[in-house]
Structures are given as structure tokens and as C-alpha cells.
Amino acid sequence: MKDVFRAHQVTDTVWWVGAIDWSLRDFHGYATYRGTTYNAFLVIADKVALIDAVKGPFREELMARIASVIDPKKINVIVSNHAEMDHTGCLPQVIAAVEPDHVYASEAGVEALQAHFHDLDGLEAVGDGATIDLGGRTLRFFETKMVHWPDSMLSYMPEEKLLFSQDAFGMHLATGERFADEVPRDVLGSEAAKYFANILMPLIGPISRAIGKVQEAGIELDIIAPDHGPIWRRSEDIDFIVGRYVEWCAQNPTLKAVVVYDTMWGSTDQLAHAIGEGLKAGGAVPKLMPLKGSHRSDIATELLDAGALLVGTPTLNGNMLPTVADALTYIHGLKPKHLVAAAFGSYGWAPAGVKQVQGTLDAMKLNVVGDGLKVRFVPDDDDLKTAYALGTAVAEKVKAACGGA
């Protein structure tokens, strides 16, 4: 396979030896329309280090890329920055094949890897700020707990001003290009936003602290090499992605109002459209996302820079519709902040669905407007006017949150 799968040079001493997953379409509930990469890196100095591994089924691709530049047996050190299985699924087999002198992870990483693989011996914990000398190249470790697992850490190579950032600054994007400057900026922006929204949004506090930690350390960055997606190597691209992370962590609201809903016989759909008209008239920017054609992860992405979330459902068997429950459970887990919110929907016997949505929005600690708009069966003109008024009321709240824009 080494004649087919080849390494890609990043610097004089660093090679990309990862794998491309062109067919991945779901990452634990997140729709990955463009597939992904599992990035791993080889550092060839006096000692040879492998930074991270790949998902289990791609082990042979990883080993072939390594073998295209060096005998895998010459690897002295393996570093696991993050224990999640898309980076460690083949790690036991790689260790057995390579027989390195050292396998390093954070203290929590050692625990996680042992819990994953149970009989994986010889792991060594490295603390925050620890360094290892590869002979001509150095790796310095930064613990970044909950970016995005408790075990997560970053590895920095000062001689190359290169940060191996594990899941931070990455994206799910399968591509033959290895560098961000080879990918259209609009693709980078949309996929990085989707990744942040669906993977990292609940962890804004730890991410902000990690960015501050790296900045306080005074490290210089010429290259950011994440574990998914392209490598950032131009200063303008590094400024772009770091700036976006700072912006997303701030969660500053905008005038966008996301309206998520499903409908049985069209009544909740009518309410959603009337609310949308009210939002627009009130100065907000409505984004209607009917669940018959909107994936939960695309909704999460829209919420990343939104100012409002409105959720509509009919009642089915004393509950909100399953599609609405699915989307709302997913969104709840992502912990979006600073959103104005409202519930609405049609019902026949009892408005239990709207009450459940209202309860979830309250539990999310959002700025909820009203106690839920409930319309029995088909809305009449007065009901649609009420829905329109709900839209304008939410718009006013959103504008106030945006500083009266």
C-alpha cells in the first residue's frame, strides 16, 4: 500500500500521514456531508515521533503513509493528544507494530486509553508544560481539559512554531488538499463553523481559557495542524480561524432568528410563516427551518451566530413530535447562550407539545418570550395575527440584545 498512500510534507521535519474518509456522513448525530480526515503527523528528527493515530479501519492507510518516508520501526515516540476513537482506534495495533520507546498522553489521557483498550500497557503521563527532546526538535505539552474531552492536550514544536491542536481549529472535510490556503475560504468558513457549533459549542468556557493559556505562553504560530481538516500555514489563515474561535466563544447575538418546526396537517407551518413575517417586520432576520428538510446539525450551525430560537410543534400522543424532540434534545445538549426564545404550535385535544417545548427552553435558561403560543386545530386570521405579534415581540427582544440595532 505504501506505493499508493503516501505522506505529504508539511515542513522540513514534519509529514502528514493521516487518512481521508470520503464516505463519512454521520459523526454521532452531526451530518458530515463532505466526509472528514483523520490527521496524524510524523516528526522526523534525531528521534522520530508519531503525533496521534487514526480511526481503526484506516490503520493500513496510516502505516502505508508512514512507510512511504521512513521504516515505521524507527518511530521512537508516539503522542496521543486526544483519546477519542477517531484518533486512537488503531493505536494498540500501531504500538504493537512499531514498538516505540515511549507512548505519551496526558494523565487523563492515560486513564481514558486504558479504559478504552483495557490491556494497553506502557503509557506515560506528561504534565502541563512538560517537554520532550527529539534531538533538534522539541515537543511542549499544554493540558487543555474539555477541549473537547478531559484528556485533551496540545503539542507545540517551537523550532517550527507549529501547534498540533488535536480537535481545536479543525473541521470535518475530506479533501485531497492538505492546506487551508488550497481550499476555498467559503468552504473553510462554513465547515469550521459547523464543526465548532456541533462539537465545541458546549465547551466555550474551556476553549476560551485554552486560547488565553496559549496566548499567555507567548508562543508564536506559523502552522496550526489539527486532527481533522486542512492545516493552517499562512498568517492570514491562522488569524482567520483563531479570530473566528474568539468570535464564536463570545456568542454575541445577531438579528438572525431561527424558527425550527414540524407540522402534521399544516397548521403549525402556517403559524411558523406568520411568525416569520412578524420577525421580519420587527427588524429581525428570520431563518425558517422546517424539520422535514433541515438536519439537526445544520440548525445548530445556524444558531452559532443567531439571536433567537423559536420552536414549533403539534401534539402527538401527548408529546411534541418526535422530530422536534430529536432536534430540541440535540440543541439543548449544545448549550447555546444569549438567545431569545419562544414556543408555538397547533393542537387538537391538549397543548402538551407546546408545553414540553416551553419547558425545555426554560431549562436551557434562554430568554423565553411568553408562555407558548397554542392554537387549537387550524389557525384563523386572529391566530395568525397573534403569531405575527409573537414574531414582532421576539424581534424587539433580539434588537435590544444586539444593542438596539
Which member of 3, 28, 216, 382 is catalytic? 28
Which member of 21, 30, 143, 148 is catalytic? 148
Report yes or no: 343 and 374 within 8 Å, Cβ to Cβ. no
Residue 87 annotated to the active site:
no
In the beta sheet, which residues pair with residue 157? 162
Residue 28 annotated to the active site:
yes
Nearest to 342 by CA among 320, 305, 367: 367
Residue 26 annotated to the active site:
no
User: Distance of alpha carbon 278 from its chain centroid, rounded?
Assistant: 32
Nearest to 379 by CA among 267, 273, 266: 267
Residue 245 annotated to the active site:
no
Place of cell 477541549: 147
Which member of 87, 172, 228, 273 is catalytic? 228
Which member of 38, 61, 82, 227 is catalytic? 82
Residue 167 annotated to the active site:
yes
- Decide: helix, strand or coil at residue 394: helix
Instruction: Give the chain's radius of gyration (CA, Å).
Output: 24
Distance CA 109, CA 93 (A): 18
Which member of 104, 156, 195, 245 is catalytic? 195
Residue 84 annotated to the active site:
yes
Which member of 151, 160, 167, 269 is catalytic? 167
Cell of 82: 486526544
In the beta sheet, which residues pair with residue 16? 8, 41
User: Distance of alpha carbon 67 from its chain centroid, rounded?
Assistant: 32
Distance CA 97, CA 92 (A): 9
Distances (CA, A) of 249 to 91, 254, 296, 348: 32, 14, 21, 42
Which member of 86, 160, 237, 383 is catalytic? 86
Distance CA 394, CA 76 (A): 59
DSSP structural state of residue 17: -
Which member of 52, 84, 269, 383 is catalytic? 84
Q: Point out the residues that are catalytic.
A: 28, 82, 84, 86, 148, 167, 195, 228
